[in-house]
Amino acid sequence: MTNDIRRGGGHQEEIQGAPPVIPRAELAESRLTETLTINRYLYQQTRQLELMLLEAQDLPALFEILLVSMPRHFSFRTSELWLYDQDEVLATVLDGAERYGQSLQVLNDVFAIQELYEEEPDIALIDATDSRMFEILKSEGGVDYALLMPLLDGGRLIGSLHMGLQDDSLVLGEQEEYLLAHLSTIMSACFKAAVRRQQVSQLVLLDALTRISNPRGFGREIAREISRARRSTKPITALMMEIDDFADLNQHYGARRGHFVIRKVAERLTSNLRQTDLLARLGEARFAVLIPGGGEMVCRDIAERMRGDIENFLIDDGHGAVLQVCLSIGLVTWEPQQFPAVDMPQLARQMQSVGSKALEDAKARGGNTVAHARLSTLVL
């Protein structure tokens, strides 16, 4: 088949067998309609996400939106959130963040985040030829494009959200950039508000004198760790401890030095713990240590080392007096495989009760010793 091109009067006729020619005006109108449709969809999705972000009451809810809901809304392959935590504030309020794995990263240096943006952090869409692609979304394959959305606090970078795409379906025009920049601003504001709320809620769980967990905080943590131990079938041990003869020390040296001793003992105990362990102050001179994953024999050695360390700890009060104190310690361990339990709150109360009885036994022996007790009967 041949295609004839006929010319006459400056007019070009259609080529036989070719698709019909679409007039420019019609083509422009079609593209405008398509753009308006895309913008309307983007606006609707952005608006929905904005409402979800504003309704998020805490950091876990916010993470779920940014790392789970947002990729689904925009049909992205994956997402990743980097947060800058210079003063290690986030480390004290992040809870359950480990479930997101590499998708949630807390950085102590802002340099890595700054390297992703120009001098003025703004929305950016990059492809596989961009060197920044080698730094982000490493845990996910098949990502050829990435949308970078900065989190800002007064113009200062506090984080970065990265959305991975498999194709070039997202085109950043003026309208799209405006909508995504607006969403980025909302994300930043909601993140700052969630951190502040989390900090306030944490305060009611902290002891005012030592800044470690108080009885309420310890109650929440032991219930949580027992649930984790049940799932992992790993043991958990609680150490209940008390400064021996603290009433006499308080009476002789005064409440001010007594408080000083309590703070120093709390600091010393903290220095001997792992990050996964928990220290709490339960009473005037009473503390508790929670050791996830610690069996009875291992934790007996830990308790003995802590007791010996405090016994040899010289506390200089800064006014010419050097004080020494001793600890009595009661130990109780729960082994999920040996004693399966269903009522977790009841088990938490039992562990505290049995551990306290072991502590009283240690005190009855003259103090400065470790006693242990076993959970004999569990409420199933």
Output the domain CATH number for residue 136.
3.30.450.40
Number of Cβ atoms within 10 Å of the Cβ of 164: 21
Rounded to an integer, the average pLDDT of 12-33 is 51
Rounded to an integer, the average pLDDT of 19-34 is 51
Q: Which has more pLDDT, 380 or 330?
A: 330
Same domain, 61 and 168: yes
Same domain, 219 and 187: no
338 located within any domain: yes
Question: What average pLDDT does the structure give for the chain?
Answer: 83
Q: What local confidence, expressed as pLDDT, does residue 370 receive?
A: 96
CA distance 323 to 136: 53
Q: What local confidence, expressed as pLDDT, does residue 238 receive?
A: 96
Model confidence at 275: pLDDT above 90: no
Residue-wise pLDDT tens digits, 236-274: 999 999 999 999 998 888 888 899 999 999 999 999 999
Same domain, 125 and 220: no
Q: What local confidence, expressed as pLDDT, does residue 4 receive?
A: 40
Rounded to an integer, the average pLDDT of 46-69 is 86
7 located within any domain: no
The pTM score is 0.57
Instruction: Say which amino acid occupies 40.
Output: R
Joined together, the tokens standing for residue 13 give: 């006729």
Which of 205-209, 269-273, 351-355 is predicted with the least confidence, judged by mean pLDDT? Answer: 205-209
Q: What local confidence, expressed as pLDDT, does residue 341 receive?
A: 67
Model confidence at 12: pLDDT above 50: no
Q: Which has more pLDDT, 100 or 189?
A: 189
Same domain, 219 and 198: no
Given 202, 232, 247, the domain boundary residue is: 202
Q: What local confidence, expressed as pLDDT, does residue 93 receive?
A: 63
Residue 355: name the closest of 371, 369, 335 by CA. 371
- CA-based torsion, 122, 127, 131, 134: positive or negative: positive
Instruction: Please give the share of the chain, as a percent, with pLDDT higher than 90.
Output: 39
CA distance 74 to 186: 17
Q: Which of 115-119, 206-210, 363-367 has the highest mean pLDDT?
A: 363-367
Same domain, 195 and 275: no
Contact 340, 316 (CB under 8 A): no
Q: What local confidence, expressed as pLDDT, does residue 220 receive?
A: 86
As a three-state string, the secondary structure of the chain is: CCCCCCEECCEECCCCCCCCCCCHHHHHHHHHHHHHHHHHHHHHHHHHHHHHHHHCCCHHHHHHHHHHHHHHHCCCCEEEEEEECCCCCHHHHCCCHHHHHHHEEEECCCHHHHCCCCCCCCCEEEECCCHHHHCCCCCCCCCCEEEEEEEEECCEEEEEEEEEECCCCCCCCHHHHHHHHHHHHHHHHHHHHHHHHHHHHHHCCECCCCCCECHHHHHHHHHHHHHHHHHHCCCEEEEEEEECCHHHHHHHHCHHHHHHHHHHHHHHHHHCCCCCCEEEECCCCEEEEEEECCCHHHHHHHHHHHHHHHHCCCEECCCCCEECCCEEEEEEEECCCCCCCCCHHHHHHHHHHHHHHHHHHHHHCCCCCEEEEECCCCCC
Number of Cβ atoms within 10 Å of the Cβ of 46: 19
Model confidence at 227: pLDDT above 60: yes
Rounded to an integer, the average pLDDT of 296-320 is 91
Same domain, 220 and 198: no
Instruction: State the CATH number of the domain containing residue 260.
Output: 3.30.70.270
14 located within any domain: no
Same domain, 131 and 71: yes
Burial of 195 (0-12, 13-18, 19+ CB in 10 A): buried
Same domain, 262 and 148: no
Tally of domains within the chain: 2
CA distance 35 to 76: 20
The phi and psi torsions of 146 (rounded to 5 degrees) equal: -145, 140
6 located within any domain: no
Residues spanned by the domain of 83: 25-202
Per-residue pLDDT band for 40 (boundaries 50, 70, 90) equals low
69 located within any domain: yes
Residue 132: name the closest of 153, 151, 118, 152 by CA. 118
Same domain, 235 and 178: no
Given 173, 202, 231, the domain boundary residue is: 202
Model confidence at 10: pLDDT above 80: no
158 located within any domain: yes
Rounded to an integer, the average pLDDT of 47-65 is 86
Which of 30-39, 88-97, 200-209, 270-279 is predicted with the least confidence, judged by mean pLDDT? Answer: 30-39
4 located within any domain: no
380 located within any domain: no
CA distance 248 to 37: 78
Same domain, 105 and 82: yes
Model confidence at 35: pLDDT above 60: no
Same domain, 246 and 277: yes
How many residues does the structure list for the chain?
A: 380
CA distance 283 to 319: 26
Same domain, 44 and 192: yes
CA distance 279 to 217: 10
Which of 16-30, 31-45, 247-261, 276-290 is predicted with the least confidence, judged by mean pLDDT? Answer: 16-30
Contacts of residue 305, defined as CB under 8 A and 6 or more positions apart, other chains included, come to 272
Given 174, 202, 230, the domain boundary residue is: 202
Which of 25-29, 44-48, 107-111, 218-222 is predicted with the least confidence, judged by mean pLDDT? Answer: 25-29
